[in-house]
Structure 1
Amino acid sequence: MYKLNNKFASVALGLLVWQSASAVTLEEATSIQRELVTLDSHLDTPANLVVPGFDILERHSYGHDFSQVDVPRMQEGALDGGFWAIYSPQGPLTKEGYEQSRDTALLRALAIRTMVTAHPDVFTFATEASEASEIKKSAKHIVYMSMENAYPLGTDISLLDTFYKFGLRMVGPVHFKNNQFGDSSTDPDGTKWDGLSPLGEKLVVEANRLGIVLDGSHAHDETVKGMIRLSKTPIILSHTGSKAIYDHPRNVDDALLKTLAASGGVIQMNAYSEYLAALPADPERKEAFKGLMALVKNGSEREIILQKRREIEHEHPGVKASFDVYMQHFLHVLNVVGPEHVGIGADWDGGGGVDGMMDVVNLPMITQRLLDEGYSKKDLANIWAGNALRVLQQAQDYAVSLKAKQ
């Protein structure tokens, strides 16, 4: 019996050595990733573009100013670009609230366009799915424009056409709370519309007409189901996780994942720690952040606010989910719907980040892990950009087909 066990131990040790020898190094993974078009479907970085003193061309650090995306770090992390999000906070569902948010959203769209026009040797603005690969070949970064929360449109659906002309190619109807378009997954008051509102249904039709991809992230499950049912083209979940791994309202269950995939849709994996795992409560940190927000509301200088934030992180460091937990979400979803329906939308500069992957520098870790799990270069090409671009192409093809019928 001893000899038999010893034999098995030798086989196991040999297998372990083989696995170690065959594992892809991070350097190799980065090299492979550089060959692919790589996009993140939800970059909240435009919020930093309007911050005085922030230069997208300079290297920043999360530890200093808590930003996660800039050109030097994109280059190091082999990220070509993505969908740069227009976001403005949701206010009351009133004419005044809509107008204020509309103006903020237009200025944010302008900031994205200005970033590109000010640095034509670094960025290229994209509106067609086919443009991504050509932009990569030119060694420039890819800038698509998206809108997180359609609240700024108010009740005037025609405004979507205005943003389309600015270059908008993806729109999500809701954010943290219910609005005029439908129900959010996280509104503390529960649902209002049992999914999409009548105006939300019109938004779906108009997005289809224009060739804009519909984004179901942040939306209630019933809202997502309504979007899938009504949309003539596949939808995307631009930054979402798996409810099977962590039961949070922002995540989706396997049944909805399968419905999404059956319709041709794609889920892009979120790295927002609070949505990935149950994290310990920290009342002192929460209280300290109240003081930080008071400084923000009072219009304190940016360096004062940053210094206060650094003090909080030193005295009450935030607990993040692990990279392994993030990959549990990722690998589970891949197992459920396959690599043709999964992508990456980590929520950079919008709260995303896990231990070991707190900015875009560390993105090749994902590629390394997927290669180690046996996914092919073709799979990686789909995951990193192909799936999202396919959905965009389908949206655009449908819009063209409508014009042909006129």
Structure 2
Amino acid sequence: MDYRARARELLAAHPVVDGHNDLPWALREQVRYDIDRLDIATDQSATLHTDIPRLRAGGVGAQFWSVYVRSDMAGDDAVSATLEQIDIVRQLADRYPDDLRLAFTADEMEKARAEGRIASLMGAEGGHSIHNSLATLRSLYELGVRYMTLTHNDNVAWADSATDEPKAWLKVARRGSPRTESGGASSEGGGGRRAGLTRFGEEVVREMNRLGMLVDLSHVSSDTMRDALRVTSAPVVFSHSSSRAVCDHVRNIPDDVLALLPANGGVAMATFVPKFILPEAVEWTRRADENMRAHGLHALDTTPEGMKVQRAFEAEHPRPVATAATVADHLDHMREVAGIDHLGIGGDFDGTAFTPDGLDDVSGYPNLVAELLRRGWSDDDLAKLTWRNAVRVLREAECVARTLRAERGPSNATIDQLDGSDG
């Protein structure tokens, strides 16, 4: 069988819904949003992972564009930068109407597919984008944001990140009512310290449910994952996370959390970032990040200057190379634990300096589908992975929101009220 040709046929019928792409941030960093200088209607492979010709070649039918801002931005600066990110997504949809269609609902995703356009949705990456304000959260929803990742690489005042020191347990202890998780001490922090949601964080999740905004649990600590799954009344997503059992990195999802997805209805969208999927790449990336900082650059800098530094380091220290088969290993395991109804894809293109061979950019999805076909995945399995599961999750979140909005109005709770003035 020509697996690649079969993959293209499948994607024509059931295109990819990708959970996470950082093109908006790349446009900010490279051209300060001047899209006359960087026209994604043409091949931009010299500087980006993403442009319209390669989205088409990759069989992408819907894209959650990340309206990400770095987590070292704070307060109103983070909110303002997030608004700029939302604005550029809207500019792109206006500039390329034959190819991109803004989508805010599951039905609009389906309409875009029927029209032969790429549904363009938005996800905010990190709770710092709302500056501890539920009103700001609601405003982002009104502007079209349909998921929010509760944290990025750093904690927020009400939720702990996988890659920061746990702090939420301090607020819980100060209230005099420490919570314990089933299964003993947390893997983040140890010694029984939890690393999850505060009371205000729980209120954020409830308000997201009421709005119909998906709760994204990529980047958060394992305890934050468990807390959110305990509190939420709607399905969650992991917009770009893979399996911790396959690659032991804190950015990945533990099996006990994956096992909770069937009851919740959520979807885990496997990412392609080599340091999250290939064990041999974890230490190499740590040293590459240190090298970036030594050159005065942020570890996530993917500007031409940043990539020049990265490529020089790679030339001296050859990196372990992931492939489409590496991602397929994660998906095989995640299917065993969570089931086929709870899987998706979140490549993280233009948010990572390095990509797997065969998944070099957004044109590579047929290579992953072909690999899964070789492993015996059925057409129905693949249709769920690429399209159906993601659309279902958004539709179910919308249904939950309709019920909750009929029951209660907006929450006006503040972090000071729920967590104390130290929040």
TM-score calculated relative to the size of structure 2: 0.82
Which of 1 and 2 has greater Rg? 1
Q: Over aligned residue pairs, what C-alpha RMSD do you find? A: 2.4
What secondary structure is seen at the aligned counterpart in 2 of 1:358?
coil
User: Quick check: 1:49–1:55 contact (8 Å CA) kept in 2?
Assistant: no
Q: Deviations over 1:164-220 (max 9, x none)?
A: 111011111111121112111111x34433311222111111101111010011111
User: Quick check: 1:41–1:345 contact (8 Å CA) kept in 2?
Assistant: yes
Q: Give the structure 2 partner of residue 10 of structure 1.
A: none
User: Quick check: 1:343–1:388 contact (8 Å CA) kept in 2?
Assistant: yes
Q: Give the structure 2 partner of residue 132 of structure 1.
A: 109
What secondary structure is seen at the aligned counterpart in 2 of 1:239?
coil
Distance 2:56 2:168 in 1: 44
Q: Give the structure 2 partner of residue 109 of structure 1.
A: 86
User: Quick check: 1:235–1:265 contact (8 Å CA) kept in 2?
Assistant: yes
Q: Give the structure 2 partner of residue 364 of structure 1.
A: 366
User: Quick check: 2:240–2:348 contact (8 Å CA) kept in 1?
Assistant: yes
Q: Give the structure 2 partner of residue 122 of structure 1.
A: 99
The alpha-carbon deviation at position 403 of structure 1 amounts to 3.3
The alpha-carbon deviation at position 375 of structure 1 amounts to 2.2
Q: Give the structure 2 partner of residue 55 of structure 1.
A: 39
1:75 pairs with 2:56: yes
Q: 1:40 aligns with which of 11, 18, 27?
A: 18
Distance 2:219 2:257 in 1: 14
The alpha-carbon deviation at position 288 of structure 1 amounts to 4.9
The alpha-carbon deviation at position 106 of structure 1 amounts to 0.7
1:341-356 matches, within 5 Å, as 341-351=342-352, 353-356=355-358
What secondary structure is seen at the aligned counterpart in 2 of 1:360?
coil
Q: Deviations over 1:144-166 (max 9, x none)?
A: 11111011211211101111111
Distance 2:214 2:406 in 1: 20
User: Quick check: 2:62–2:109 contact (8 Å CA) kept in 1?
Assistant: no
Are residues 296 and 376 of structure 1, via their aligned partners in 2, closer, same or farther at CA, if it must alter by over 3 Å?
Answer: closer
Q: Give the structure 1 partner of residue 404 of structure 2.
A: 402
Q: 2:384 aligns with which of 379, 382, 385?
A: 382
What secondary structure is seen at the aligned counterpart in 2 of 1:348?
coil
Q: Give the structure 1 partner of residue 34 of structure 2.
A: none
User: Quick check: 2:359–2:368 contact (8 Å CA) kept in 1?
Assistant: no
What secondary structure is seen at the aligned counterpart in 2 of 1:74?
helix
Distance 2:239 2:396 in 1: 16
User: Quick check: 1:149–1:172 contact (8 Å CA) kept in 2?
Assistant: yes
1:81-92 matches, within 5 Å, as 81-91=62-72
Are residues 340 and 232 of structure 1, via their aligned partners in 2, closer, same or farther at CA, if it must alter by over 3 Å?
Answer: same
Between 1:174-183 and 1:106-115, the stretch displaced more is 174-183
User: Quick check: 1:144–1:168 contact (8 Å CA) kept in 2?
Assistant: yes
What secondary structure is seen at the aligned counterpart in 1 of 2:160?
coil
1:229 pairs with 2:206: no
User: Quick check: 1:292–1:309 contact (8 Å CA) kept in 2?
Assistant: no
1:170-189 matches, within 5 Å, as 170-187=147-164, 189=165
User: Quick check: 2:103–2:121 contact (8 Å CA) kept in 1?
Assistant: yes
Q: Deviations over 1:73-99 (max 9, x none)?
A: 11111112311111111137xxxx211
The alpha-carbon deviation at position 355 of structure 1 amounts to 2.3
User: Quick check: 2:211–2:405 contact (8 Å CA) kept in 1?
Assistant: no
The alpha-carbon deviation at position 402 of structure 1 amounts to 2.7
Q: Give the structure 2 partner of residue 261 of structure 1.
A: 262
* Amino acid paired to 1:334: R
Q: Deviations over 1:293-329 (max 9, x none)?
A: 45999x9xx6666655555555555433233222111
The alpha-carbon deviation at position 49 of structure 1 amounts to 2.8
Q: Give the structure 1 partner of residue 173 of structure 2.
A: none
Are residues 288 and 178 of structure 1, via their aligned partners in 2, closer, same or farther at CA, if it must alter by over 3 Å?
Answer: closer
User: Quick check: 1:39–1:385 contact (8 Å CA) kept in 2?
Assistant: yes
Distance 1:284 1:249 in 2: 17
Distance 2:39 2:280 in 1: 33
Are residues 342 and 294 of structure 1, via their aligned partners in 2, closer, same or farther at CA, if it must alter by over 3 Å?
Answer: closer
Q: Give the structure 2 partner of residue 332 of structure 1.
A: 333
* Amino acid paired to 1:163: L
Distance 1:263 1:143 in 2: 25
| Alignment: residue pair count | 373
* Amino acid paired to 1:46: P
What secondary structure is seen at the aligned counterpart in 2 of 1:224?
helix
In structure 1, stretches of 5+ residues that fail to align are 1-22
User: Quick check: 1:171–1:214 contact (8 Å CA) kept in 2?
Assistant: yes
The alpha-carbon deviation at position 395 of structure 1 amounts to 1.0
User: Quick check: 1:41–1:268 contact (8 Å CA) kept in 2?
Assistant: yes
User: Quick check: 2:7–2:370 contact (8 Å CA) kept in 1?
Assistant: yes
User: Quick check: 2:269–2:345 contact (8 Å CA) kept in 1?
Assistant: yes
Between 1:367-376 and 1:194-203, the stretch displaced more is 367-376
* Amino acid paired to 2:236: I
Distance 1:350 1:320 in 2: 17
* Amino acid paired to 2:377: Y
Q: 2:135 aligns with which of 143, 148, 158?
A: 158
Are residues 287 and 128 of structure 1, via their aligned partners in 2, closer, same or farther at CA, if it must alter by over 3 Å?
Answer: closer
Runs of 4+ in 1 over 6 A off after TM superposition: none
1:289 pairs with 2:266: no
TM-score calculated relative to the size of structure 1: 0.85
The alpha-carbon deviation at position 336 of structure 1 amounts to 1.7
Are residues 98 and 167 of structure 1, via their aligned partners in 2, closer, same or farther at CA, if it must alter by over 3 Å?
Answer: same
* Amino acid paired to 2:396: Q
Q: Taking every aligned residue pair, what percent have the same amino acid on both sides?
A: 28
Distance 1:363 1:86 in 2: 22
The alpha-carbon deviation at position 405 of structure 1 amounts to 4.2
Q: 2:9 aligns with which of 31, 35, 39?
A: 31
Distance 1:295 1:40 in 2: 25
